[in-house]
Chain A
Amino acid sequence: MTDLHNKSVAQLAAMLKNKEVSAVEVATRFLARMGGNPHNAFLDISSEVTLAQAQASDAKIAKGTAGPLEGVPIAHKDIFVTKDFATTAGSKILKDYRSPFDATVVSRLRDAGMVTLGKLNCDEFAMGSANENSAYGAVTNPWDTTRIPGGSSGGSAAAVAARLTPAVTGTDTGGSIRQPAAFCGITGIKPTYGRASRYGMVAFASSLDQAGPMARSAEDCALLLSAMCGPDLDRDSTSLNVANEDFSRTLTQALQGLRIGIPNEFFGEGLASDVRSAIDTALEQLQTLGATLVPIALPRTELSIPVYYIIAPAEASSNLSRFDGVKFGHRAKDFSDLAGMYEKTRSQAFGEEVKRRIMIGSYVLSHGYYDAYYLQAQKIRRMIADDFQQAFSQCDVIAGPVAPTTAWKLGDKSDDPLANYLADIFTLPASLAGLPGMSLPVGFGASGMPVGMQLIGNYLQEARLLNVAHQYQLHIGHHTQAPGGAA
């Protein structure tokens, strides 16, 4: 079975359950594809750990005690801490760090039977939109290796696109699941803030960070999301006390009567014409499936950039204080006193973007500036959330582009942080409001790079988003297309 790597999560789960293939065979196949670390997608692998997990899965399948995703491989963004693999968060400051516990998301997916292939490259502490901020090198886009895969879950997206794994986890603070999914032509969903436990996610911006699955199809994302979400009240105080759902249960629902909100602000001047035409085509296809388009307004879309780039760095500046060389991670070698040790350790081991955000964050929280920046940003954040509620009184889901362009060339924006920040404009609003959002591939742009369409739902409406995406994917096969060399 040489085409195992083209099978979906759903297909692999069924084949494993029916004993058409063993978990060890599946794991071996993917480990072989990962050899040489294509696209620099992985940061840590261990065939011993992976095969041991696969053997355990085979034993469970034989005994009839298999979990719903028993034996299906997955790889985790290096933001999730893991016992069996190193966790670096893409940073030198956590080089070789080994967590004594697994993130809740990781252990839930293990409990569902998934076999871990390794840890995936990402922007340092998930700060970036191109995966060029990893201390362990950039990740290349499987569709064109001279281009970025998007970020910060760039390793995750590239690994799925290149068929190195059928499924991955990602984290999304301002678009870090949706944007790389769009750039690599795969499907990814960021659930409602609080749906997936943050316990064991190396924190970037606590009020925004949210875990989610990335795979090739909405159907697979629904299976993964069902396995990873649910209350974790004893470990994460921001975990929602809402019973977990089977997100697959409404996938087959027809789209008859669906009202899709089209925010005018998402289709303005900054949107590249090739992206726009792919989105327009997808919207027409959704209409033929029974949906109607409703114009809506999200008037503070532009403000989401300054609001996000105040709140996220503010929280990050505090969250990253624990990396001080005292307890774990990197410590500078030569220092004369305590202040010198802090300064040297953090100067040496944090990358430029991380330092920049710590500086911005410290500044906006400083005495005398707090009210003008942080407090003001929080007020506008609430208004942005209110705007969405206004919009959802007129529509069921909101659709638009994930990013203004397709994936750019490596190095193109690496010296221009502002250009990177501006490219987040369409993903930031849902993050700030804590709403679920997803990306699904809807075609290709002028340079042959994938275009992703974003769907945003109201709180806890993940199943609806997945239903819309799945109905689209039943009719339009962009998600089945593989980059050259990957098939």
Chain B
Amino acid sequence: MSAAKLVHGYEVVIGFETHTQLSTKSKIFSRASTAFGAEPNTQACAVDLALPGTLPVMNKGAVERAIELGLALGSHIAERSVFARKNYFYPDLPKGYQISQFEIPVVQGGEVSFFLGDEKKTVRLVRAHLEEDAGKSLHEDFIGQSGIDLNRAGTPLLEIVTEPDMRSSEEAVAYAKELHKIVTWIGICDGNMQEGSFRCDANVSVRKPGASLGTRREIKNLNSFKFMQQAIDYEVRWQIEQIEDGRAIQQATVLFNPDTGETRAMRTKEDAADYRYFPDPDLPPLVISREWVERVRSEMAELPRVMAQRFVSQYGLPEYDAMTLTQSKAMAAYFEETAKACGQAKLASNWIMGELSRRMNADDLGIDQLPVKAAQLGALIRRIADNTISNNAAKHVFDALWPLEMTTASGAPSMVDDLIDSMGLKQMNDAGALEVIIDEVLAANPKNVEEFKAGNTKALNGLVGPIMKASKGKANPAQVNALLLKKLG
């Protein structure tokens, strides 16, 4: 690992706790729906309302999603984990306790790897545990009172906790993006950050290099990657200022205000509650057999890191390319289809990571909205590979394919050859015709010929330009070079 980036001489230490809302149709301990956006309290059943006599019953789908995450991140999946009650009073917590996992979580250890620039980073996980979400308190629309919406109460969450392994806000955001990619890839979470399906808490501290860990403050509920970076950067600056001014950092929970760009303490450790955790007697220990784990594994799609390894071994791609192309399932599928169509994996990778990504970003399109289909890009790359067109000419064809109105012909690989023909971009691979042009250009530029022969190799460029121009760009530059050298040699 390279030396940590320092901020005013301080090392930044960040750990993450991410609440991922699991994509089950019903709640973690009841049969009520988890759908977002319904009228308040219409998706809360007797169990969610904590009516007397109600009891929790585990949703197996939530457990399977936890198993999937554990498999995706190389974690240990506990054969026996325990649900505990976290006791505290709040109006949107109907039972007066939250059912969570405390001492023995279902997912233990594991890691998340990603590239930060060219550098590969690995963040270790401590655990991931299942728990239920609380409801929402609505303070706006009720004068002098608060409204309670319990639709969200009992929604399944998987809280994913890392070691304090991150050393910059950029690394933290890259981790969060990678985790987001994984949970959406394996389909355990819809990843919708606006709706709160993927909420991050960042534990931030600073220290002088080599010193023991500083006191941390926890920034709660970061629900966009942009705010995440702003909040951490602000928090780091604030903590360094405090320390520089001789004030000790107090452990605290803070909130980020996107309007002011500042973090502000909600509560300090002194008023931290005693949650009186104890095993929930309503739920027997969660037992996960090896058979269950293997069944889930057999039903899972290929994981991004496994797919990336395969791209390296099967297509001979560099690891960076393989990681980049496995950013999403759709991107990976696009690559594989393109590579299959042209038989040129590295070229396909270059095109997707280069030209295609540039156009996608410029037009703000998703991989599933591309006007150029993988088969077309494959056909185009095939024409570069067989020297029908130059790489440069291919870019013109690509541009021509891109903004075309969608028609019945759209997406047909044959369009590539049609465009090459109609745009007249076919490379002049006929040596005889090229020699005629070269002879004409040499005759017209005796000065350059003389200079080249005198040892000025740069004079060659003065000859290539006019030849390319005379061929209307269709000459193969490599072939031009070779013929020129032969004639001048």
- A residues contacting B by CB (< 8 A) are 80-81, 87, 89, 94, 97, 99-101, 103, 198-203, 205-207, 233-238, 314-315, 317-318, 320-322, 324, 326-328, 338, 342, 362, 365-367, 370, 374
Provide 10 A-B residue pairs closer than 8 Å at the C-beta atoms, listed in order of the A residue.
A89-B52, A101-B51, A206-B280, A237-B283, A314-B278, A321-B89, A327-B49, A327-B51, A362-B276, A370-B278
- The distance in angstroms between the C-alpha atoms of A203 and B47, with both chains bound, is 13
Q: In terms of DSSP, what is the predominant structure of the interface of chain A?
A: loop
Contact A365/B276 with A321-B97, A327-B94 known, Cβ cut-off 8 Å: yes
Indicate the member of A206, A234, A237, A374 with the most B CB atoms within 10 Å: A237
Q: Mark B175-204, 1 if CB is under 8 A from A, else 0.
A: 000000000000000000000000000000
Contact A206/B91 with A99-B51, A103-B53 known, Cβ cut-off 8 Å: no
Closest to A343 in B: B89
Contact B281–A101 (Cβ < 8 Å): no
Closest 6 pairs between A and B when the two form their complex, measured CB to CB: A321-B96, A207-B281, A206-B281, A365-B276, A200-B53, A81-B53
In the complex, how many angstroms separate the beta carbon of B102 from the nearest chain A beta carbon?
A: 11
Contact B282–A327 (Cβ < 8 Å): no
Contact B89–A237 (Cβ < 8 Å): no
Contact A321–B87 (Cβ < 8 Å): yes
Closest to B90 in A: A338
Contact B97–A94 (Cβ < 8 Å): no
Contact A322/B55 with A238-B282, A327-B94, A366-B274 known, Cβ cut-off 8 Å: no
Chain B residues whose C-beta falls within 8 Å of the C-beta of A206 in the assembled complex? 280-282
Picked from A94, A233, A314, the residue with its CB within 8 Å of the CB of B52 is A94
- The distance in angstroms between the C-alpha atoms of A125 and B280, with both chains bound, is 19
Closest to A81 in B: B53
* Chain A CB within 8 A of B58 CB: yes
* Tally of chain B residues near chain A (CB < 8 A): 29
Chain B residues whose C-beta falls within 8 Å of the C-beta of A235 in the assembled complex? 55, 57
* Chain A CB within 8 A of B56 CB: yes
Contact B54–A199 (Cβ < 8 Å): yes
In the complex, how many angstroms separate the beta carbon of A319 from the nearest chain B beta carbon?
A: 9
Q: A203-B52, A322-B94, A327-B94 are in contact. List 9 more A-B contacts (CB 8 A).
A: A80-B53, A101-B53, A234-B57, A235-B57, A236-B57, A317-B276, A321-B95, A342-B89, A370-B277
Indicate the member of B280, B281, B283 with the most A CB atoms within 10 Å: B281
Contact A367/B282 with A202-B53, A322-B94 known, Cβ cut-off 8 Å: no
Contact A101–B89 (Cβ < 8 Å): no
In the complex, how many angstroms separate the beta carbon of B289 from the nearest chain A beta carbon?
A: 16
Indicate the member of A80, A81, A327 with the most B CB atoms within 10 Å: A327
Contact A198–B55 (Cβ < 8 Å): yes
Chain B residues whose C-beta falls within 8 Å of the C-beta of A317 in the assembled complex? 87, 276
Chain A residues whose C-beta falls within 8 Å of the C-beta of B95 in the assembled complex? 321-322
Chain B residues whose C-beta falls within 8 Å of the C-beta of A365 in the assembled complex? 87, 276-278
Picked from A80, A100, A236, the residue with its CB within 8 Å of the CB of B55 is A236
Contact B89–A87 (Cβ < 8 Å): no
Tell me the residues in window 2-35 of chain B with beta carbons closer than 8 Å to chain A beta carbons: none
In the complex, how many angstroms separate the beta carbon of A440 from the nearest chain B beta carbon?
A: 29
Closest to A367 in B: B274
Chain A residues whose C-beta falls within 8 Å of the C-beta of B58 in the assembled complex? 237
In the complex, how many angstroms separate the beta carbon of B80 from the nearest chain A beta carbon?
A: 15
Chain A residues whose C-beta falls within 8 Å of the C-beta of B57 in the assembled complex? 233-237
Closest to B83 in A: A237
Closest to A209 in B: B281
Tell me the residues in window 234-280 of chain B with beta carbons closer than 8 Å to chain A beta carbons: 274, 276-278, 280
